[in-house]
A and B are shown apart, each in its own frame.
Chain A
Amino acid sequence: MLRLPQFEVVAPESVADVVSALQRPGARIIAGGTDILPNLKHHLGTPQHPAELPPVLVSLSRVTALRGIALDEAAGVLRIGAGVTLSQLSEHPEVQRHLPSLSQSAGLVASPPIRNMGTIGGNVNLDTRCRYVNQTHFWREALGGGCLKSEGNVCHVVPGGRNCVAAMSSDNVPVLISLDATIVQAGPEGVRELPIEEYYKADGLAHTNAKPGEVTTELRVPLPKGPRRSTYVKWSVRKSIDFPLVSVALRFDLGEDEATVATVKVVVGVLGSKPRTLGKLDDVVGKKFGDPVLARMVADAAYAQCKPLENVPYEAAYRRDMIRVYTRRAIEALAAADK
């Protein structure tokens, strides 16, 4: 078995204590551990946490304040504590009722045991992944000494590239962006809330805008104000365990007639380090949701705007074709369910 590096664990009980613990050199947050523990075994660090620095794992296991899901009807949002597990999120009745696409995506992460451990806070902070990175230290040495994101200074995905394009592989992030969720960060400078869409940036080494010493405490997802059709579609080689190779979140808010599209938001994951929100969908607004042309328009837009890379297995060209197919089918399935 691969060994973990030696590490220290601290387990504060409040968010304030977590924030102060994060000031220690080498401090890294651990919640369910399903992402960080394999990364530690693989000697993977981040710019803020070099792999050589002995980790101080700041466990969120005792921070009970992070564990709830609450319907805030006054504010019109569902508040989801960062410590809620993916199983709890997926199975929560309010989530299923108001935010079915989020229930879907949370239920499609990895496998049941991993969903029982992994949290939504951890999942939105999932480190970016790459076929040339998420391997053992020995393997990367055999590759010739790693890459931009590990020990080296080259990119094996984009030869000559200077910018890391490791893939944002969370199933839930595209959905949360499609739902206009906000993310709450607590840090030494206090608490801030920002649209989750602005939380991510196109840099595989540091793909979030989290400030040093910050911890994600909550996700706030606006409740639908009218009729809505939303879904998440994932393709992976296996029906369980695997990270997504095609990942698309779709949301259509409809008018009072329950047919005319008022708002559309489509977000695609597993491209580079930042999910892509499709633009140029204005023509879709005003169309009838059941109109077969609509599914094709959105699928074509997804194909035109998304260019997968060879950062995960399976040829990029195939994955690009499949973004179109799965997007169209997802919309057709939603429309068919209306009938």
Chain B
Amino acid sequence: MASDDAEREATGDGIGEAPVVGADGASEQVERDRAAWQLGKAHRKVDAMERMRGVTRYTDDLKLPGMLHAKILRSPHAHARIKSIDSSAALAMPGVFAVVTGQDFKIPYGIIPWTPDENALAVDKVCHVGDGLAAVAAVDEDTANAALRAIKVEYDVLKPYFDPEEALKVRDREGTINPYSRKGNVSKHVLLEFGDIEAELKRADLVIEGEYFFEGTTHGAIEPHCALAHVDGGGVLTVWSATQVSHYLHRELAKVLELPPHKIRVIQPPLGGAFGGKSEPFDLEFVVAKLAMKTGRPVKLLYTREEVFYAHRGRHPMKMKHRTGFTKDGGLLGVDARTILDGGAYSSFGLVTTYYSGQLMCSPYIFPAYRFDSTRAYTNKPACGPKRGHGSVQPRFAMEIQLDKAAAALGLDPIELRRRNAIKAGEKTVNEFTVGSSGFLECLEKVERSSGWVEKRRSLPYGRGIGIAGSTYISGTNYPIYPNEMPQAAVQICLDRSGRARVFSGANDIGQGSNTMLAVIVSEELGIPLEDIRVLSADTDLCPVDLGAYSSRITLMVGNACLEAAQRLRRKVCESVAKRWGVPRQRVTLAGRMAIDREDPARHVDSAQAFQWAEADHGLLGETGSYNTPKDRHGEYRGGTIGASPAYSFTAHVAEVEVDAETGLVEVKTIWIAHDCGKALSRKIVEGQIEGSTYMGFGEALMERHAVDPAHRGVHVGPSFLDYRMPTFLDTPDLEAMIVEAPDANGPYGAKEAGEGPLHSSIPAIANAIYDAVGIRLDRLPFTPQSVLAALRQREEQERAGQLAPHKRADLQPRRSA
């Protein structure tokens, strides 16, 4: 029996298969191996085979009998009042079933309960090119599109505002972009001060002042947003949606559609990427739901790629002014940051983004004084929101270049400067957050060693350079988006007589592998391989509530809930086996699809038998687990809970670049990344997240630009994957991902996040490497060849004027010629 299993295991290709503990293994060996039976191994994702074979059914693959197709009419104006909408001609067209407008959705919503400032379709005014104002359901997409063209809209065109600072100056009603705003175009303002920043800057030996601009970027998930709605005979509305927050969608649907929550079911089918771009409700979900209610037919809507760019909710453009004080030894004394966030037309997560732009800067370095003053402006652009590394990627760019400038000014190795200021485990940040574990120093050490930093700093010629940056990120937020005292995460697990487990989890697997993570935990605890575990996720009818895939919360929070449920079941199973064998429970362990006697490993039964004994003793085997966050880790001030997390991850990046001084092209050769994820539950997935995050940052550094063209009525500069350039495989540098494990007491097996942190410092590491290569500071993103050339010319002039010495050794300088 055992050998059959062993054979079955051995036929795998090494992925997803852990060694089976043989019957002849010594008990100590069993115990030693048990801890590593699944944890930290390389696993094939539980959905990998379906995806690779192309049989995964995404939302758009779903088809129901009698299904209608919906399309949304969008505004060609950046800012206009809607005078009238006449949809009678559209409704009269054959094949058109229903039309909805803003009048059908008068209840505003917003992902943050304090800022409900958008309607599913515009009610009185449109606020950016691409804002939706009406929708039709028709027999097919072509008929729906034709019907849109038949809808007559009269607009009063208003003056648009594309510059956030200009928008902030507006005080009158006419110039107030968002219809619900009561403070002109101020979407959110946060001013927080810790310690005496002016005093610290005064006593500083060196104050670095810098101005930075982070350009808007978007997520670029391959799968466009899609939703399908259906009302069944009992009046229950089911919405299938490509969302990463099914629970919040559930709540907002209930609110806007005025339906009781128990009459709504939300299902998230497999996703083709999200990266934060699907973490709130969008117009299409309300539209299909309402149209399904109106027509009695299933209704589906798939965004065009262009619509995805208008839905956006990507990285906020930020203008940042930093003053940073240092002692002559490189000790960090204080940071004074002023930030303008360009929010676009709606709040989205903007309240949180505004806080994050300051709150997440107080680690991985410790310093005694801090002030940040962040203002988010409404502008006539697609709304910004959370993109991988929400709110903190932009200020991290400023912060890490400031540190590099200080190191250069003080003649210090920039890694050494960071080391001297590194926050230690258990310390409190200046904004009163308690940091648990920290592997930051080890991250620095790993990238320093593997990149050959010390040698390269000395020897790389002009044109070639190396740069460092560090960062930190949260493993979930301590407080949910809507205040409540219920668990932040819950998981239910059932075992059955065939030796399998079913895991019910509300968490959204968005490709990051959270379903696999749950399977690994259940496998580790219950001794059955991943293939015997079914994870059913993100269906509000079947699964316990989970808050969703955002703020890198799932591994820590849902992982903990899952671990609790799995350990409860493990105890029951071990107990029943122990009873049969007449030994204490502690002598029984579960691994390799068996229950094994630790002291006499020849004695074992397969998992199915063990589960049957336990079911006989306890009745049906089902357990739940819940997780709630520790409530003692935040700051005691208004906003002090925002940015507080049960555990923080740490990252260090070293980038090596080559700068072509004649073309201005930057080629990033290699990026070394060390990331402290606490404990890698599934090694390949963590490495994939590290590489993917770093790649994403690299693309933002060199190419990506999500912006509108103020000279052309505010149209998007290129809402397609041809014009919005994300790097191809050929453009991507070598990525050397290294895992650092500083286990955190709050994480399952010590695990912390890995999905967002490793993006942050890739961008400033590249900027700092460019400085090392050719002596120019690029304080604006992206680093286009034109901006590189302009900075080089400026430096040349300064050198000619004798204001600057030539960068690097003169004999290494190539002679420029054009």
A241 near B722: Cβ-Cβ < 8 Å: yes
Chain A residues with Cβ below 8 Å from B722 are 134, 241-242
Chain B residues with Cβ below 8 Å from A131 are 718, 723
Tally of contacts, chain A with chain B, CB under 8 A: 80
Number of A residues near B (Cβ < 8 Å) is: 33
- Judged by a CB distance under 8 angstroms, whether A315 is at the interface is yes
Chain B interface mostly: loop
C-beta contact mask, A130-146 vs B, less than 8 Å → 1, else 0? 01101110110111100
- Judged by a CB distance under 8 angstroms, whether A240 is at the interface is yes
B713 near A144: Cβ-Cβ < 8 Å: yes
B304 near A1: Cβ-Cβ < 8 Å: yes
Chain A interface mostly: loop
Chain A residues with Cβ below 8 Å from B786 are 314-315, 318
B703 near A313: Cβ-Cβ < 8 Å: no
C-beta contact mask, A189-200 vs B, less than 8 Å → 1, else 0? 000000000000
CB distance from A146 to the nearest CB of B (A): 12
Chain A residues with Cβ below 8 Å from B730 are 238-240
A136 near B306: Cβ-Cβ < 8 Å: yes
- Judged by a CB distance under 8 angstroms, whether B715 is at the interface is yes
Q: Which residue of B lies closest to A299 (CB)?
A: B818
Q: Which residue of A lies closest to B73 (CB)?
A: A138
A322 near B718: Cβ-Cβ < 8 Å: no
A142 near B703: Cβ-Cβ < 8 Å: no
C-beta contact mask, A310-335 vs B, less than 8 Å → 1, else 0? 00011100100110111000000000
Chain A residues with Cβ below 8 Å from B141 are 3
User: 8 Å CB contacts to B: which residues of A56-97?
Assistant: none
- Judged by a CB distance under 8 angstroms, whether B775 is at the interface is no
Cα separation A241 to B721 with both chains bound (whole Å): 10
Cα separation A134 to B785 with both chains bound (whole Å): 24
CB distance from A314 to the nearest CB of B (A): 7
A325 near B663: Cβ-Cβ < 8 Å: yes
Number of B residues near A (Cβ < 8 Å) is: 38
Cα separation A58 to B129 with both chains bound (whole Å): 37
C-beta contact mask, A10-40 vs B, less than 8 Å → 1, else 0? 0000000000000000000000000000000
Chain B residues with Cβ below 8 Å from A324 are 818
Chain B residues with Cβ below 8 Å from A6 are 142
- Judged by a CB distance under 8 angstroms, whether A2 is at the interface is yes
- Judged by a CB distance under 8 angstroms, whether A234 is at the interface is no
Instruction: Determine which residue in B76, B77, B224, B703 has the highest number of CB atoms from chain A within 10 A of its CB, and name it.
Output: B76
A313 near B719: Cβ-Cβ < 8 Å: no
Q: Which residue of A lies closest to B784 (CB)?
A: A314
Cα separation A139 to B129 with both chains bound (whole Å): 9
C-beta contact mask, A240-271 vs B, less than 8 Å → 1, else 0? 11100000000000000000000000000000
B723 near A238: Cβ-Cβ < 8 Å: no
- Judged by a CB distance under 8 angstroms, whether A304 is at the interface is no
Select A142's contact among B77, B664, B818, beta carbons within 8 Å.
Answer: B77
Chain A residues with Cβ below 8 Å from B719 are 135-136, 139
- Judged by a CB distance under 8 angstroms, whether B508 is at the interface is no
Cα separation A298 to B145 with both chains bound (whole Å): 53
User: 8 Å CB contacts to B: which residues of A143-197?
Assistant: 143-144, 156
CB distance from A319 to the nearest CB of B (A): 10
Chain A residues with Cβ below 8 Å from B703 are 237-238
Chain A residues with Cβ below 8 Å from B662 are 325
Lowest 6 A-B CB distances belong to which pairs?
A239-B730, A142-B76, A240-B728, A142-B129, A318-B786, A141-B76
Chosen A-B contacts, 22 in total, with CB atoms closer than 8 Å, are A2-B304, A3-B141, A3-B142, A131-B718, A132-B712, A136-B306, A138-B306, A142-B76, A142-B713, A142-B715, A143-B712, A143-B715, A237-B725, A238-B727, A238-B728, A239-B728, A239-B731, A240-B730, A315-B786, A318-B786, A324-B818, A325-B663
Given contacts A3-B145, A139-B715, 8 further A-B contacts (CB under 8 A): A142-B713, A143-B713, A238-B728, A242-B722, A314-B784, A315-B786, A318-B786, A325-B663
Binding site for B on A (CB under 8 A): 1-3, 6, 111, 131-132, 134-136, 138-139, 141-144, 156, 235, 237-242, 313-315, 318, 321-322, 324-326
